[in-house]
Structure 1
Amino acid sequence: MVLFLLLLSIIFIVYATAKWKLHPFLSIISSTYIFALLTNLAGKFSGLEAPIIGDIAKEITGGFGSIITSIGLVIIFGTIIGKILEKSGAAVKMAEVVLNLLGDRHPALAMTIIGWVVSIPVFCDSGYVILSSLKKSLAKKTGVSMITLAVALSTGLYATHTLVPPTPGPIAAATNVGIGPDGLFWVIVVGIVVSIPVALAGHVWARRVADKLPADLDEAVETFEEYKARFGKLPSGFAAFAPIIIPIVLMAIGSFANFPVGVDAQGEKVLLASGFTHTLLTFLGAPVNALFVGLLFAIFGLLPQRNEETLTKWVGEGLIDSAIIILITGAGGALGAVIRATPIADYVTSLLNGNAALVGVGGLVVIFLIAAVLKTAQGSSTTALVVTSTIVMPLLPSLGLDAMMGTVPIGQILTVMAIGCGAMVVSHVNDSYFWVVSQFSKMSLTTAYRAQTLATLVQGVTGIIVVSILALFLL
């Protein structure tokens, strides 16, 4: 009965978000209360003297607070970095660097790579808007179809948006499934590995299918050089990439500092670094500290002027964007705490006992399908990431997805990847990104379905195939 009530609660989230247009935060929180109250009511009718969930308010507030404690500042710092990259022209500089490397011979590939890089810190919606003029001028310069470049850009952005931190969705999913700060670097590494074939799948779709679709977009009225002039003097290539690269490098160093290299006479692990060096590298490698360093690089390396416009307005816009993500993530944490307070995990474990098809790769495919259903039904990739990771976290041991590879929580990391791939399937009319891509590219609804929606389906399926192959070797 409790499992059935959880299913009803998930249906409520989807219906309230998609049909009533209720904000995901309120739909998840409302669903959490509905699930908790009905669970206790079901226990009462079953003859239980004590409620199944002893203190509903404590579970909800505790779950909400614990998840924000874990990743609140990480999301805030990452979102502000993304906003500064967007406003300062650093995203355009990154695009220019990629174009200079590839030239005009491979414009579609250039757009895929540009999107893949820019969407690591910048939301895919914002990234597409920023780079839309670049897409137009590049199409005019090379003669390649505008629809081809539009899909190449949109799918490149989409690949890292759902798979690679510090984008908030993957960070939230990683935290929800129990990955601590030490494991976040490996989420980035595996996310990059999975996202590359996913982005290439979108690129192939753009070249082979979207290239044949009609484009109604007006020809660009400005060149790329004229477009760059809007931002004034662009930052250097190092300054543009540093806020992204430096935190990743610091997290890598922090992880390697804790890498075991042997055992001492007392049987204790000997780490790669020790003493003050270990303390310093571990401090700098903590995700919240690494991203704060990245934020400092953004502030002192990218802001054209450090004044009220940049330090208050730009940062304020980043805080507003991050607040929405934090609230949705916190609501997911509340739902997760309530789920963990019920016997659902034990019941599902008993159902799965002896069913090898749902362990390991099979479990990842099931998780992918859950995320895909949630994404397709309610439209938001971030909501799909948060809700799916919340639901499946107690089930990971039963699904064989709590495996460790040395000190790396590889089972949980692959779970995040499976959820991220499912959160791509599919982008259609209930997804704001679908409308950003279609409207800025002047696609008809039919063309947008064939170009964008089917491309996201191909990307998601490609992703879960890659994740399944990795699982065969790593689990």
Structure 2
Amino acid sequence: MIDLLWLAASIVVIVVLIIKVKLHPAISLIIGTLLLGLLTQIPLPELASGAAAGFGDLMTGIGLSVGFGIILGQLMSDSGGARVIARTLVGATSERFAMYGLAGAAFLLSIPVFYDVTFVILIPLAVAIARESGKPLPLAVGAVALGAGTAHTMVPPTPNPLAAGEIMDFDVGIMLIVGGIGGFVAVIAAVAAYSAIIAKVWRPERDVDSEPAFVEHGAEGRRAPSFVVALLPLIAPIALILLGTVWNAVAGEPPSWVAFFSDKTIALLIGVLVAYLVASRSMSRSDMNDSANTAVQSAGIVLLITGAGGAFGAIIERAGIGDLIAESVSALGGNYALALLACYGVGLAFRLAVGSGTVASITTMTIMASVAPAIGIHPVWVAMACLAGALSLGHINDSGFWVTAKIPGFSVSGGLKTYTLPQFLASVAALLFTLVGATVLPMG
């Protein structure tokens, strides 16, 4: 059991390097990986090759998919399609359900688009809706934050849930179905709970610093696509991925052409090509190239962190710690509820400590990858519990917190009430969905 202590020590080192030394999370994860290998006495050549293989194996599985997904989202944003989708969805709801429409728009947009971009697109709408409907502005801002944060954490093709299938060895289509349904249910529940809470805790004299400051978005002034056309880049890859998953569940092994087009990399490549076609109506070739370059730069950072998490996971397995974790979980008597709560707790601790939801998600799933077989449930439920924990407590050490607080003109306390609180409510709702789902459909 000393190896579990070495794992804990390595995690502490990773957290300290990120928080105190201010090293990049990817570098910190690799240092923690090497330290774990040394402490568990893995031979040095094997340690080096094992870490590199872990990085490479995860990149083989999701590298192109993550890159294509980010390019797709950037093109949707820059072409104006994302804004059209948001306005249409919000406009389709009545005044009574305006906050649900706003959260739903944020949820849908953040499936392909980064949280910060989604927030910048939606915040002018949030302010306008709050004024027109007489709803508090912090309620509208919190609805955007929880909708966008939940989708970005739980629904592929964003990096965290996309990596879940590779780390835990299951079909990404299952993650898409369970994460999509569970995330949407969590958003609805969280909006209801947040609506009941925010008025009781909001103190304008302490929580507001200034008037809202909007950031100009590159899509303004462009000839935006229609709602249906704007949705095509998102619908195409999701439909193709689900085709393979459903075919496999209903008819068994799919034919080669279905397996090819439903592969996540091919599906997302097709989605990117559709996004290019949609964007070509309002953007020049130079503009589309700039969008793709911006996306690739963002993807590089995400992939480096994700790959470093893969290296960490490879050394955990080579040291036999994965089996130790599984044995520890089995000692609970196969109690899957306690095991899922433990997954949530580890994710929460990482998010609280390091701020980055990506680091929290990838590291937690890496550590808990061996849990599902030990408790006899499908690994998607373990992934959901880990991701719910990673959604939970973003605060001042998270860049998303400052975007959410400062653009609407809120103070730090205001940011905690419009970013941390609503996303925590969504994470709890997602955890409850996971516990119920693992009970009704263990699929072990």
Q: SS of the residue aligned with 1:256?
A: helix
2:111 corresponds to which of 111, 120, 130: 120
Please tell me whether residue 374 in structure 1 is matched to residue 350 in structure 2.
yes
Please tell me whether residue 339 in structure 1 is matched to residue 340 in structure 2.
no
1:364 corresponds to which of 340, 361, 364: 340
Deviation at 1:256, TM superposition (A): 2.9
- Letter of the structure 2 residue corresponding to residue 72 of structure 1: G
Q: Mapping of 1:318-337 within 5 angstroms?
A: 318-337=295-314
- Letter of the structure 2 residue corresponding to residue 323 of structure 1: G
Q: SS of the residue aligned with 2:368?
A: helix
Deviation at 1:319, TM superposition (A): 0.4
- Letter of the structure 2 residue corresponding to residue 318 of structure 1: A
Please tell me whether residue 421 in structure 1 is matched to residue 388 in structure 2.
yes
2:221 corresponds to which of 231, 241, 250: 231
Q: Is the 8 A contact 2:89 2:105 kept in 1?
A: yes
Q: Is the 8 A contact 1:239 1:298 kept in 2?
A: no
Label 1:103 to 1:220 Cα distance change in 2 as closer, same or farther (>3 A).
farther
Structure 2 length as normaliser, TM-score? 0.92
2:155 corresponds to which of 153, 164, 170: 164
Q: SS of the residue aligned with 1:21?
A: coil
Q: Where does residue 312 of structure 1 map in the other structure?
A: 289
Deviation at 1:53, TM superposition (A): 7.1
Label 1:156 to 1:316 Cα distance change in 2 as closer, same or farther (>3 A).
same
- Letter of the structure 1 residue corresponding to residue 301 of structure 2: I
Q: Where does residue 210 of structure 1 map in the other structure?
A: 198
Q: Is the 8 A contact 2:79 2:283 kept in 1?
A: no
Q: Is the 8 A contact 1:151 1:202 kept in 2?
A: no
Q: Can you list the C-alpha shifts for 1:342-397, whole angstroms capped at 9, x where unaligned?
A: 122333444444532x5322211111111111111111111111101111113432
Label 1:198 to 1:331 Cα distance change in 2 as closer, same or farther (>3 A).
same
Which moved further from structure 2: 137-146 or 412-421?
137-146
Q: Mapping of 1:380-391 within 5 angstroms?
A: 380-391=356-367
Deviation at 1:143, TM superposition (A): 2.8
- Letter of the structure 2 residue corresponding to residue 473 of structure 1: V
Q: Can you list the C-alpha shifts for 1:427-468, whole angstroms capped at 9, x where unaligned?
A: 211111111111112122223223432222222122111100
- Letter of the structure 2 residue corresponding to residue 11 of structure 1: V
Label 1:255 to 1:350 Cα distance change in 2 as closer, same or farther (>3 A).
closer
Label 1:227 to 1:64 Cα distance change in 2 as closer, same or farther (>3 A).
closer
Q: Where does residue 414 of structure 2 map in the other structure?
A: 447
Distance in 1 between the 2:340 and 2:328 partners? 17
- Letter of the structure 1 residue corresponding to residue 174 of structure 2: W
Q: Where does residue 190 of structure 1 map in the other structure?
A: 178
Which moved further from structure 2: 209-218 or 365-374?
209-218
- Letter of the structure 2 residue corresponding to residue 342 of structure 1: A
1:144 corresponds to which of 135, 150, 167: 135
Q: Where does residue 177 of structure 1 map in the other structure?
A: 168
Q: Where does residue 464 of structure 1 map in the other structure?
A: 431
Distance in 1 between the 2:217 and 2:37 partners? 53
Q: Can you list the C-alpha shifts for 1:54-97, whole angstroms capped at 9, x where unaligned?
A: 61111011111111001001000000011111111111100121
Please tell me whether residue 474 in structure 1 is matched to residue 436 in structure 2.
no
Q: Is the 8 A contact 1:164 1:191 kept in 2?
A: yes
- Letter of the structure 1 residue corresponding to residue 350 of structure 2: L
- Letter of the structure 1 residue corresponding to residue 11 of structure 2: I
Label 1:167 to 1:231 Cα distance change in 2 as closer, same or farther (>3 A).
farther
Distance in 2 between the 1:9 and 1:305 partners? 50
Q: Where does residue 265 of structure 1 map in the other structure?
A: none
- Letter of the structure 2 residue corresponding to residue 253 of structure 1: L
Distance in 2 between the 1:352 and 1:279 partners? 39
Deviation at 1:111, TM superposition (A): 1.1
Q: Where does residue 101 of structure 1 map in the other structure?
A: 92
Label 1:471 to 1:233 Cα distance change in 2 as closer, same or farther (>3 A).
same
Distance in 1 between the 2:330 and 2:413 partners? 46
Distance in 2 between the 1:336 and 1:185 partners? 23
Structure 1 length as normaliser, TM-score? 0.86
Label 1:229 to 1:462 Cα distance change in 2 as closer, same or farther (>3 A).
closer
Q: Is the 8 A contact 2:103 2:143 kept in 1?
A: yes
Q: Is the 8 A contact 1:209 1:451 kept in 2?
A: no
Label 1:217 to 1:228 Cα distance change in 2 as closer, same or farther (>3 A).
farther
Distance in 1 between the 2:174 and 2:330 partners? 30
The count of residues paired between Structure 1 and Structure 2 equals 436
Please tell me whether residue 435 in structure 1 is matched to residue 402 in structure 2.
yes
Distance in 1 between the 2:45 and 2:339 partners? 31
Label 1:6 to 1:443 Cα distance change in 2 as closer, same or farther (>3 A).
same
Q: Is the 8 A contact 2:150 2:423 kept in 1?
A: no
Q: SS of the residue aligned with 2:314?
A: helix
Q: Is the 8 A contact 1:421 1:460 kept in 2?
A: yes
* Unaligned residue ranges in structure 2 (runs of 5+): none
Give identity over the alignment, percent: 28
Q: Where does residue 61 of structure 2 map in the other structure?
A: 70
Deviation at 1:15, TM superposition (A): 1.5
Distance in 2 between the 1:346 and 1:113 partners? 40
Label 1:218 to 1:105 Cα distance change in 2 as closer, same or farther (>3 A).
farther
Label 1:418 to 1:350 Cα distance change in 2 as closer, same or farther (>3 A).
closer
Q: Where does residue 257 of structure 1 map in the other structure?
A: 247
Q: SS of the residue aligned with 1:102?
A: coil
Please tell me whether residue 5 in structure 1 is matched to residue 19 in structure 2.
no
RMSD: 2.3
Please tell me whether residue 201 in structure 1 is matched to residue 177 in structure 2.
no
Label 1:373 to 1:309 Cα distance change in 2 as closer, same or farther (>3 A).
same
Distance in 2 between the 1:87 and 1:136 partners? 21
- Letter of the structure 2 residue corresponding to residue 472 of structure 1: T
Q: Is the 8 A contact 1:133 1:227 kept in 2?
A: no
Please tell me whether residue 241 in structure 1 is matched to residue 231 in structure 2.
yes
Q: Is the 8 A contact 1:134 1:227 kept in 2?
A: no
Label 1:154 to 1:303 Cα distance change in 2 as closer, same or farther (>3 A).
farther
Label 1:312 to 1:338 Cα distance change in 2 as closer, same or farther (>3 A).
same
Q: Is the 8 A contact 1:136 1:219 kept in 2?
A: no
- Letter of the structure 2 residue corresponding to residue 96 of structure 1: R
Distance in 1 between the 2:211 and 2:331 partners? 61
Q: Can you list the C-alpha shifts for 1:254-306, whole angstroms capped at 9, x where unaligned?
A: 22333454xxxxxxxx65x6xxxx22222111111111111111000123455
- Letter of the structure 2 residue corresponding to residue 416 of structure 1: A
